[in-house]
Amino acid sequence: MNSVIPATFSFRFALPLQRVDALPLKGKQLLKLDENCRLFWPGSDLSEVEQPLQLSAAWNPQGIAIAAQVSRKQHPAVSDINRPDETDAVQIWINTRNTTTIHRANRLCHHFCLLPNGGGDDGLEPVVRQLPIARATEDATIFPPEAFTIRSERSADGYIIEAWLPAECLNGFDATESKQLAFYAMLRDSELGDHCLTVDSAFPFASDPSLWQTLDLQDA
């Protein structure tokens, strides 16, 4: 019999975030993160659930890079820029301080939706939408999509998406002040369902930073 409480609820994970000073790249390829930047995904690696998302990330003083590869799809992703948290997207939560005890977000907490399409005049361009966090004691500044850099391309069974989150869009981001961030991620997909970093939507991770995990900022 499976436990009602998932195994991942009992642990707080510290995931290394590699420093890559060359980011973001110039030209067609935005990030080009290598295997060292791939993030351990506890919700998959500690269970029997096959994970359709590979997530990689890196940092430098200018910002944070996120790269995602979504596979096992039979149909193209369809994203809606007007419903970014309910549509096909990779969602990211970041607290620029690794505060593990707060249950309500503050101005250092951010929520980003990385949409593989839905932007541009034709609705085919990738876009980053930042959203306020429910029940927050104070909202982070919400930046428009043009403040971020993003690219996406179709693959044989899904899509690849890369996004650059500049430091100026991450309130409080300063590695000299804090070498740890709080972090959460999920894939929402109309075909594949929801795939979460640790606990699923039975837990209020979207609004409760105490459920987020830790990123350790590594030096070069």
* pTM of the predicted structure, to 2 decimals: 0.92
Report the pLDDT value the prediction gives residue 26, as an integer from 0 to 100: 78
CATH architecture of 11-217: Sandwich (2.60)
Report the pLDDT value the prediction gives residue 2, as an integer from 0 to 100: 47
Confidence of residue 49 (pLDDT cuts 50, 70, 90): low
Q: What is the pLDDT of residues 177-219, one digit of tens each?
A: 999 999 999 999 999 999 999 988 889 999 999 999 999 999 9
| Mean pLDDT to the nearest integer, 8-27 | 82
Contacts of 166 (CB under 8 A, 6+ apart): 62, 63, 147, 148, 149
Report the pLDDT value the prediction gives residue 45, as an integer from 0 to 100: 53
Q: Which two tokens stand for residue 133?
A: 């966090």
**Average pLDDT value over all residues in the chain:** 91
Tell me which of 9-23, 35-49, 192-206 is least confident: 35-49
Residue-range domain boundaries for the chain: 11-217
Confidence of residue 48 (pLDDT cuts 50, 70, 90): low
